[in-house]
Structure 1
Amino acid sequence: MAPISGHPNDMAGPVRKIRRRRPAWPYPGLLPDLLKRPRVQPAAAPPRRETGHPFELDCLHGVLPSEILAEAVRCAGLLGVGADQVLIRRGIITETEYVVRLAQRCELAVEGFRDIARTDCPLTDAQLRYAAQHRMLPLERPDGLYHVQAPLGLAARRIAALCARQARPRIRLATRAAFDRYLMRHEALAHDAAEGLALQLPEMSCAPIHRDGGGRIRRYLLHLPGLTGAFVLAPVFIIQFCGAVLAIWFLLFNSLRFAGSLAGNKRPQPLDRLSDEHLPIYTVMVALYREGRSVAHLLHALAELDYPREKLDIKLLLEADDRETQAAIARLDLPPNVEILLVPPFGPRTKPKALNAGLPFARGDFVAVFDAEDRPDPSQLRAALDTFRRHGGDVACAQASLCIDNSADSWLACMFTAEYAGQFDAFLRGFSQFGLPLPLGGSSNHFRTATLREVGGWDAYNVTEDADLGFRLARFGYRAVMFSSTTYEEAPARAGAWLRQRSRWMKGWMQTWIVHMRSPLRLIRQSGLAGFFTLNLLVGGNVLTALAYPMLIGACLLEIGLTAAGSTAIEMFADPFAGLHLATIAAGCLSTVVVCLIGLTRRRLLHHAWVLLLTPLYWACLSVAAWRALIQLFRDPYRWEKTEHGLARHSRLAAHSAGRKLKSNKGRENAAFAQAPAVRNNA
């Protein structure tokens, strides 16, 4: 997360005006410039190929057959990477073996970081993130200053060429794993992952160290006597007024969802497929905690991604004490492009903090975030790149659609399917065309890495970090858009798991609303009136309607009961807005059903529409989750309630895959049977 010049308190206009570009490598000298990796944008002209002798392979002559080395050189030329990366990423040689042989050939030492203290590195704490990004680190040793490099990209070729021209430069080599373990031990990066946004932009973080929280609470308390007095003097008016405001808010929230769902489903024209040479490096990050059941399926799904291994950088972010997931991964044969990073036990134990810990190590120009249970379309990374190519630099995030895979597990999972279909295939797909802030989903977000670092990464203290980040991007002048690709997910099928997950979401939406409404005028200046109302109608409306639902139902039932009994004993409940409440509930149910039906139709899952008859009951469950979240917001605001995965009993995706495989096998059997008589006749 790169520091940002300026502070929101000092902004007189949009945040975009204060952007500052930092140098890619803050440590001066010729050697960093020589070894830094060139960054390639996907829409740019073809990268200039490095020609000449492949010095990085000189250390492997006599170790690997010449045919393999020649093929590695050919592939490296097509991909724009070093031939060593082709051999390592395809499992022909391990990174450790290659680094040792390269060091022997160049007469360099291999750094294991066993006796290296923090004081041996002259970089400041703020500069360590650049060392993580470029895998290059200066170290002070008794015999002078060295630069330690973990060769990536074309670095091995340049180091070998430098050693061929110069006798023993002051360079030491290291493996990527050893380099990253050393940096992960430093408290600076762990502290930055947990507190970076709060220290950098305190007004945009819900961390407890916010400096103005006490003053704001005191100002709110000054208004409490006035509100109490107003309620004592005019209780009926206050109750009716509040009820009317809630009803109108409810109507506006559902109207916005309805408008987004009817905005259309335009699919852009496909672009020419990018050749592997033009593809940028892509980082995929997955935060895992107690996911021993899911990690094997996750790695299989990531291996199916249509992207060259040499340019796919996969980071699995594990908690240091998560023995279950670590043991499950140890039993697997990890591909060479998958790296395990242990998140330091500092700060809150949340998914956004783990993602922040991995962000400095992301090598890609783009970053994708997945969850443990995700099964993305194999073409999703290329589809996301096409989305960025279609739009300008103001589009910082592309969001894929999420679809529930285990719909048959329970009525809750089936309702989750309808809800996700309405959200991602109807509402957000149309709402994305309005150019308004997009409340992101928690998975299948694709970001421009530089922009993600610019805005401060994720808020480690927000338990619904995706929605918060979507609105923070808008405040920095960026947009998020939907694109046509699907990630299949597992929904909680049991009431307890569903309630914990939904309570966490509700609590995070409350945190997001509180954070961005700290200064409404500043929010309007940065995101415009449209962004202001989007926050209040979508995030605030989502929570408020869930909290108010039982009150509206209770008011309607009480009014109906009093009217039926002809009683005027409780005159204060003779509400002239009772009709408005009934219309609000009816409109809310109707809009929810229509939005979900549109989504299910587009997803071709209309046979699950029966579950929409349970919408009033489902809203009651949402209300329980919202009130539980509100209580947690005061008692335990940063607690992350873990959702267990790997419990699904049914999988629509697996059933379709098995059906296609069976159909293919039958087709081959029929073809063989049809050819059998001809074979016999020829015999």
Structure 2
Amino acid sequence: MRQGLAEPSPQSTALPVEIGFLAHYGHAPETLRQAAILARFAGVPADEFLLKHDLVDEDEFYRALAAELRLPFLVSPRLSQSARYPDSLLAGIAPLAGLQAGFVTAPRGTGLVRLLGTRLRSGELAVTSPSRLREAVFRAQGRQIADRAASDLARQAPELATGLSYGQIAALFIVLALTAFGIGHAPGTTLAIMGAVLGPLFLGMTVLRLVASVLDHPVAPSTEAPRAEDAALPVYTIIAALYREKRVAATLIRALSRLDYPAAKLDIKLVLEADDRETLDALQDIDLPGNMEIVVAPEGQPRTKPRALNVALPLARGRFTVIYDAEDVPDPSQLRLAVARFASLPPQVACLQARLSIDNTDDSWLTRLFTIEYAALFDVFNPGLAEIGSPIPLGGTSNHFRTSVLKAVHGWDAWNVTEDADLGLRLARLGYDVRDLPSSTLEEAPGTLGVWMRQRTRWMKGFVQTATTHSRRPWVLLRQLGFWRFCGALVLTWGIVLRALVYPLFSALFLTSWFFGTTGLYTSRWDNVAWFYSLTLFLSGTAAIMIPALVALHRRGLWRLWPWLPLLPFYYGLVSIAAWRGLWELATATFRWNKTSHGHARTSRAGLAQKHQASVDSTRSLKTAPP
């Protein structure tokens, strides 16, 4: 790189202002001109195109800018405590420490053009790169950033934040005490009362699952939307929270690099925890594309995925934001399809939920059943809920949001360990809708019972958190949702929790009475009513398990999994064990996040499973090239 200034050549004068100065510092004018043309086709500033396509190193670009403006370049700016998050980063300028220190800037786009146009030369201004500015802001405001990520929702909307009220705690203890006393002294009457009280919730869940099964929601879009020009596409933010994910880091980078979307319009943020050196080292071993940045969340509590997502959300520059997990492999066309769907939907549709599909189906009997469960949930149940206008507990990944709405509802609840389900209910309460996105994301299922149980325990604990949070003031929930959506919310929170808790007990009692007791046909009228009521619950509940699974296997073309369907009742018995474990954890380790380890898949339905080292080797030199 040449350190001095040179007279501009005739070729360089035709270049856009934001990159033309690079011709003075060793970059070929013809290369810069071609980049400028491609940037116009993509609809982005020329500097964004150069940097996100790795045509110029970020530090090299901003060092050249500093030399052009005859300003100092700061490698590690020391910022004043008045630096603001995220404002300083979004604006690209922050105050330096010291009374006479001035400011440091990392301009982009129009800000870069203005700075080059004014040719400001001041002892109070210095230049750095966007990455170095971000690190400086996090150093200066780490405590405030951590506090905001953990507490913004509770501070701004306490009525929607996770927590048990004193009334709920008292009611819970009273119900448990009365139930234990009743089972000990009058088991028949107590179980009859429990069946009468819980029956409507269970029947509600059954009706929702069966109605969803008869609605037509194919796995792929029925008609393909016209392909939009790159210039017409908006900036899209991708956030992926990673913790101890060195096994799958390279695979994630590879999957995101395969997305069919202009690289210069992708704003990809990989969020790590401060103590996760192994994942950081794995990412640094990969030549990350220029549209990906590593955001290290400041130390703080709770140590949960939603807190990490909240750290990155204020920095999102895209019109839309999608969340992916570390092991995800989304369909390459998913972002384009989401943009087209959002454009055709009213503004109150805040989120599109893509379909999650298990890739390592053949690893074990457990992954086969997990595949059936996910197919029924994401290919049948959730699309059906979206069509009838019900609230939807979101899945933990492949949620596509309108970024403005996501920021307005204060992101995720950092203290809820199923932040996805909570956010789905919160969106419904605030007047927003969730719709289905018929595009698949491949996921890795836990292959062993121990890992599966820890994951499912966390999920069930989070569902209890969600149910209690959103029923603290039921009259408010009723007013916000209306009667039918209110009923749907109860079914999808308390219904899921209570059904899991009592499923083995009620099933065992019914089967015992069927095989070893009287059928009730020759007893009193009320005995007959109770018998047929329990028979209805049992048979409809079984149908609600089997029919969505059959429909889902048909839609996915997974008929070879049919022989595993009879094991589903036993699988949901394991879910019940996880629910009871979740209740115990709620009392003993309320906010503990049971980490699910990834990168252990041995099989792949899509042929994408690879050994870790092969994946690292294939992505070490991966860069996103210009079209």
Matches within 5 A, 1:285-434: 285-434=239-388
Relative to structure 1, the CA distance from residue 574 to residue 563 in structure 2 (aligned partners, 3 Å threshold; closer, same or farther) is farther
- Quick one: distance in 2 between partners of 1:427 and 1:560? 30
Q: Distance in 2 between matches of 1:460 and 1:162?
A: 44
Q: Does 1:58 align with 2:24?
A: no
Change (3 A) 1:424 1:116: same
Equivalence for 1:90: 53
Q: How many Å apart are 1:534 and its aligned residue? A: 1.4
2:465 is matched with: 511
**What is the Cα deviation at residue 226 of structure 1?**
8.6
Deviation at 1:468, TM superposition (A): 0.5
Task: Report deviation, 1:310.
Answer: 1.0
State the alpha-carbon separation in 2 of the partners of residues 192 and 624 from structure 1. 35
Secondary structure of residue in 2 paired with 1:91: coil
Residue type of the partner of 2:301? G
**1:452 counterpart residue number:** 406
Give the match's secondary structure for 1:154.
Answer: helix
1:223–1:318 CA distance, 2 compared to 1 (3 A): closer
Q: Does the alignment pair 1:74 with 2:27?
A: no
Task: Give runs of aligned pairs for residues 221-620 of structure 1, distance below 5 A.
Answer: 236-265=188-217, 267=221, 269-560=223-514, 563=517, 577-620=530-573
Residue among 125, 139, 142 paired with 2:99: 142
In the TM superposition, what is the alpha-carbon distance from 1:53 to its structure 2 partner? Answer: 5.9
In the other structure, the counterpart of 1:677 is none
Q: For the Cα contact (< 8 Å) 1:72–1:87, is it kept in 2? A: yes
Kindly provide the CA deviation profile for residues 627-657 of structure 1, in whole angstroms up to 9, marking residues without a partner as x: 1111111111111101111101001111799
SS at match of 1:333: coil
User: Residue 577 of structure 1: SS of its match in structure 2?
Assistant: helix
- Deviation at residue 177 of structure 1 after TM alignment: 1.3
Contact 1:399 1:445 in 2 (8 A): yes
Bigger mean CA deviation after superposition, 548-557 or 573-582: 573-582
- For structure 1, the residue ranges without an aligned partner over 5 or more in a row are 1-50, 658-683
Is the partner of 1:653 in helix, strand or coil? coil
Query: Partner amino acid for 1:201?
Result: A
Q: Does the Cα contact within 8 Å between 1:194 and 1:347 map onto a contact in 2?
A: yes
Equivalent residue, structure 1, for 2:605: 652
In structure 2, what is the Cα distance between the partners aligned to 1:434 and 1:440?
A: 16
Task: Deviation per CA, 1:121-141: give whole Å up to 9, x if none.
Answer: 2x5xxx523333333334464
Report how far residue 613 of structure 1 moved. Answer: 1.1
Cα-to-partner distance string for 1:264-317 (whole Å, 9 max, x where unaligned): 227564433221111111111100011111011110000000111111111111
CA contact (8 A) 1:263 1:431 kept: no
Give the AA of the match of 2:562.
A
| Contact 2:350–2:433 (8 Å) recurs in 1 | yes
- The alpha-carbon deviation at position 153 of structure 1 amounts to 3.4
Secondary structure of the equivalent of 2:234?
Answer: coil
Q: Contact 1:246–1:548 at 8 Å: present in 2 too? A: no
Q: CA deviation at 1:607?
A: 1.4
Q: 1: CA distance between counterparts of 2:380 and 2:283? A: 37
- 1:169: Cα distance to partner? 9.1
Matched, 1:639 2:592: yes
- Contact 2:385 2:391 (C-alpha < 8 Å) held by counterparts: no
Cα distance change of structure 1 residues 631 and 216 upon mapping to structure 2, 3 Å threshold: closer
Correspondence for 2:88: 131
Per the alignment, do residues 246 and 273 of structure 1 end up closer, same or farther by CA in structure 2, a change over 3 Å counting? same
Q: 1:621 is paired with a residue of what secondary structure?
A: helix
**Partner Cα distance (1:216, 1:579) in 2:** 33
**Aligned equivalents of 2:45 and 2:556: distance in 1?**
43
C-alpha distance in 1 between matches for 2:466 and 2:56: 47
> By how many angstroms is 1:225 displaced?
8.9
Question: Which segment drifts farther, 310-319 or 585-594?
Answer: 585-594
% identity of equivalent residues: 40
Matches of 2:180 and 2:455 in 1, distance apart?
A: 35
TM-score (norm 2): 0.88
SS at match of 2:436: strand
CA-CA distance at 1:57 after TM superposition: 2.1
* Other-structure match for 1:30: none
Give 1:55's aligned amino acid: V
8 Å Cα contact 1:410/1:493 also seen in 2: yes
SS in 2 for 1:589: helix
CA contact (8 A) 2:355 2:440 kept: yes
| 2:598 is equivalent to residue 629 of structure 1 | no
Q: In 2, distance between residues paired with 1:393 and 1:641?
A: 36
Q: Which moved more, 1:86-95 or 1:244-253?
A: 244-253
Partner SS, residue 482 of structure 2: helix
- State the alpha-carbon separation in 1 of the partners of residues 402 and 462 from structure 2: 24
Asked if the contact 1:559–1:575 (Cα under 8 Å) also holds between the matched residues in 2, the reply is no
Alpha-carbon distance between aligned partners in 1 of 2:28 and 2:608, rounded to the nearest angstrom: 44
Query: 1:434 deviation in Å?
Result: 1.3
Q: Residues of 1 paired with 2:529 and 2:591: CA distance?
A: 41
Amino acid across the alignment from 2:68:
R
Q: Does the CA contact (< 8 Å) of 1:261 and 1:429 recur in 2?
A: no
1:197 corresponds to which of 149, 153, 156: 153
Contact between 1:190 and 1:346, CA under 8 Å: does it hold in 2? yes
Distance 1:544 1:225 in 2: 16
State the distance in 2 between where 1:548 and 1:219 align: 19
Please give the alpha-carbon distance, in whole angstroms, between the structure 2 residues aligned to 1:646 and 1:491. 10
- Scaled by the length of structure 1, the TM-score of the pair is 0.81
1:398–1:483: 8 Å Cα contact kept in structure 2?
Answer: yes
Tell me, yes or no, if the aligned pair for 1:418 and 1:609 is still in contact at 8 Å: no
Are the structure 2 counterparts of residues 130 and 261 from structure 1 closer, same or farther at C-alpha, using a change threshold of 3 Å?
farther
Q: In the aligned structure 2, how far is the partner of 1:519 from the partner of 1:268?
A: 42
Inter-partner Cα distance in structure 2 for 1:113 and 1:523: 50
Equivalent-residue separation in structure 1 for 2:69 and 2:387 (angstroms): 55
Residue 530 of structure 1: how far off its partner (Å): 2.6
Judge which range, 647-656 or 625-634, deviates more: 647-656
Tell me the alpha carbon deviations over residues 422-467 of structure 1, each in whole angstroms, 9 at most, x when there is no partner.
Answer: 1111121222111221221111011111110100100001111111
Shift of 1:497: 0.8
Q: Which moved more, 1:626-635 or 1:553-562?
A: 553-562
Aligned partner of 2:109 among 144, 149, 153: 153
Cα distance change on mapping 1:383 and 1:223 into 2, 3 Å: closer
In structure 2, the residue corresponding to 1:259 is in which secondary structure? helix
Q: Is contact 1:81-1:154 (8 Å) kept?
A: no
Measure, in 2, the Cα distance between the counterparts of 1:565 and 1:585.
Answer: 14
**What is the CA–CA distance in structure 2 between the aligned matches of 1:461 and 1:506, rounded to whole Å?**
14
CA separation of 1:95/1:540 partners in 2, compared to 1, >3 Å: closer, same or farther?
Answer: same
